[in-house]
Structure 1
Amino acid sequence: MKQLLIIVIFLGSGLQLFAQQERSYVKKGNELYQQKKYKEAEEAYREAVAKKEQNVPGNFNLGDALYKQKQYDKAADQFKKIADAGGDKNVVAHAYHNLGNSMLQNQKLEESVDAYKKSLLNNPKDEETRYNLAYAQEKLKKQQQQQQKDGKNNKDNKDQKQNQDKNNQDKKNNDDKKNQDKKDQQKQDKQQQSNPNNISKEDAQRMLDALNNDEKQTQDKLKGKKARGTAGRPAKDW
């Protein structure tokens, strides 16, 4: 029993010492925070939290110091940790309020609205939170309207581009056809120029057919004359 009593006394003295150190670091952090030395204040609050992880003032003020340094993601994590820990409703309400502020600064509007609503569930009379909730909801509404407008504009631009591409392709096809027709005509003209008499293939064929017909008629006439001369020669009667 005696030994146990000594241990209890020793632990009690140690706990008191740790509590004093925690308060000392928190106090130092508060002084630096008031001087707007937020980085130094953050370091002091971290020392307080290191002495006791569940140090509510140290944790809460650490989140504030991070927020003042515009480290909104880290601040949000800090306030969420306090809110999730539960406990005193007033502390939880303030944690959600500051979580909402951090999300708002990061343009995470849906998360911000959700945090403010949770803050009001723990403290329905907080008018500042109610105002911030209305502000965040209005910003969210405008953001959604802008997204819808941008979506419509993107669709219109896409349709316009598709129409323009189609028109460009049609024009290209027409130009290609015109160029091909021009090349074909030039080729035909060149072929005609290469013929000494400038006679087209069709004209040449017609002339050849005519020559063949004339030749055939001439041969027929000659054959007819020869036949008539042989048959018409009288035999002499001696």
Structure 2
Amino acid sequence: MKKILLFIAIILVSSVLQAQKERQLIREGNKFYEEGKFSEAEISYQKATDVNPVSDKATYNLGNARYQQNNYEDATNHFKRAAEMSMNPKIEAKALYNAGNSLMSQEKYDESIPLFKQALRLNPDDADARYNLAYAQWKLKQQQQQDQQNKDQNKDQDKDQKEDQQKQDQEKDQKNDQQDKKEQDQQKQDQKQDQQQNPQQLSKEEAERMLQALTGEEKKTLEKLNEKKVKAASRVSKEKDW
């Protein structure tokens, strides 16, 4: 029985000493914070959370020190953690409010709005939370409009680029058509020249018409040539009969 009581006493004393160490580190951090020494304050608050990892006050103050050093993302995480572990509605509301501010500093207005609403549910009289909620909603609307304008602008640019490409393709096709026509014309010209250089053979009808157009003297000369051909053919035939 005595051992059990001794064990309980040791635990109680240890808890008291731990709580005292935590409070001492938080007070030290607060002093640095008020002096604007935010990096030193951060170290003290971090030591306090090492002593007591579930300390909502030390975690909340650590978020404030990170926020003052423009470390908004890390500050947001600490504020959210403080709100989750706190059993005090006032600390929870402040942590949610500060988390919303950290998100606004990152232009994450859509994420900050729900946090301001939660803070107002815990503390409906918080005028700053109400103002920041309205401001975040206004900035979100502006952001969405700007995103839509950028989207429309990109769409117009894509359309212009597509039209330019189509125009270039049409010009290219026209140039190719002109080149093809030029080559065809050149081919026809070459064929015409070949025909002029190599006249075709006269047909039988054309030859007869040309003979009919001959003068009398020309006919006599032609007839004599024909008689000589006939005689020469007769001699050849006789020689073959031998």
The TM-score, its normalising length taken from structure 2, stands at 0.80
Deviation at 1:77, TM superposition (A): 1.0
Q: Give me the whole-angstrom Cα distance separating, in 2, the residues matched to 1:213 and 1:33.
A: 123
Counterpart of 1:111 in structure 2 is 111
The match for 1:161 is 161
CA distance in 2, matches of 1:215, 1:204: 21
Letter in 2 for 1:66: R
| Counterpart position of 2:200 | 208
Question: In the TM superposition, what is the alpha-carbon distance from 1:226 to its structure 2 partner?
Answer: 6.8
Contact 2:109–2:136 under 8 Å retained in 1: yes
- What is the rounded CA distance, in whole Å, between the counterparts of 2:202 and 2:124 in structure 1? 113
**CA separation in 1, counterparts of 2:204 and 2:109?**
96
2:50 alignment partner in structure 1: 50
Instruction: Work out whether residues 29 and 45 of structure 2, in 8 Å CA contact, stay in contact via their aligned partners in 1.
Output: yes
Superposed CA deviations along residues 111-137 of structure 1, whole A, max 9, x for unmatched, are 011111111111111000111111111
Query: Cα distance, 1:204 vs. partner?
Result: 6.1
2:113–2:133 Cα contact (<8 Å) kept? yes
CA distance in 2, matches of 1:212, 1:161: 68
Structure 1 residue 94 displacement after superposition = 0.8
8 Å CA contact retained: 2:56, 2:86: no
1:88 aligns with 88
The 5 Å alignment of 1:5-24 reads 5-24=5-24
Identity of aligned residues (%): 31
Unaligned runs of 5+ in 2: 213-218, 231-242
Written as runs of structure 1 = structure 2, the 5 A alignment for 1:184-195 is 184-186=184-186, 191=190
Aligned CA distance change for structure 1 residues 212 and 112 (closer, same or farther; 3 Å): farther
Question: In the alignment, what sits opposite 2:132?
Answer: 132
After alignment, is 170-179 or 209-218 more displaced?
Answer: 209-218
Amino acid aligned to 2:7: I
- Supply the RMSD in Å over aligned alpha carbons: 2.8
* Equivalent-residue separation in structure 2 for 1:215 and 1:110 (angstroms): 101
- Once the two structures are superposed, residues 122-155 of structure 1 have per-residue CA deviations (whole angstroms, 9 ceiling, x without a partner) of 1111000111111111100001111111111111
Shift of 1:80: 1.1
Aligned to 2:233: none
Letter in structure 2 aligned against 1:165? Q
- State the secondary structure of the residue aligned to 2:200: helix
Structure 1 Cα separation of the partners of residues 205 and 85 of structure 2 = 115
Q: Which amino acid aligns with 2:78?
A: Q
